[in-house]
Amino acid sequence: MIAQNDWFERRKYTGWGLGRPRKWQGWAYLAAVLLPFVIFQAIPYWGVKTRLIVTGAWMAFLMIDLIPLMVTLKKDEREHKIEAIAERNAAWAMVMILVIGIVYEALRSALAAKTFQVDPFIIAALFGGVIAKALSNFYLERRAI
């Protein structure tokens, strides 16, 4: 891939992904990736379909280039532990918000329309989390970690 691991640092406080660039090469990479895209979007010559295709291709390129980088950022033992605890806390917060959302939607639909309606994607997110946790526990217990 193009981007290198030592050009960026781990994102600590504002979500997931890459943190700010650590070296000038990281800044140059961001400029080389973002400036042509911004210029392309600013020029009103292309139609909506062309913009969507180019945007999708650009996003695919970024994902292919940056996801392996995000996964393999170098961290010491303390950073691994801090990130694991932070990820656990983030997951619990998301689960609680999803549960509250399901209860809210169920009560609102039951009171307003006398029917039970809940967004299936919210329920799928919770079940997906349960499946991911179960598979992770199964796999990690077998590896004797």
* Percent above pLDDT 90 for the chain: 11
pLDDT tens-digit series, residues 68-127: 888 777 777 887 788 788 888 888 898 999 999 889 888 888 888 777 788 888 888 888
Is pTM beyond 0.85? Reply is no
Please give the C-alpha separations between residue 63 and each of 60, 78, 132, in angstroms, as whole numbers: 5, 27, 22
What is the 3 state secondary structure string of the chain? Answer: CCCCHHHEEECCCCCCCEEEECCHHHHHHHHHHHHHHHHHHHCCCCCHHHHHHHHHHHHHHHHHHHHHHHHCCCCCHHHHHHHHHHHHHHHHHHHHHHHHHHHHHHHHHHHHHCCCCCCHHHHHHHHHHHHHHHHHHHHHHHHCC
- The arithmetic mean of pLDDT across residues 4-28, rounded, is 79
Residue 51 to residue 39: CA distance in whole angstroms: 12
Confidence of residue 15 (pLDDT cuts 50, 70, 90): low
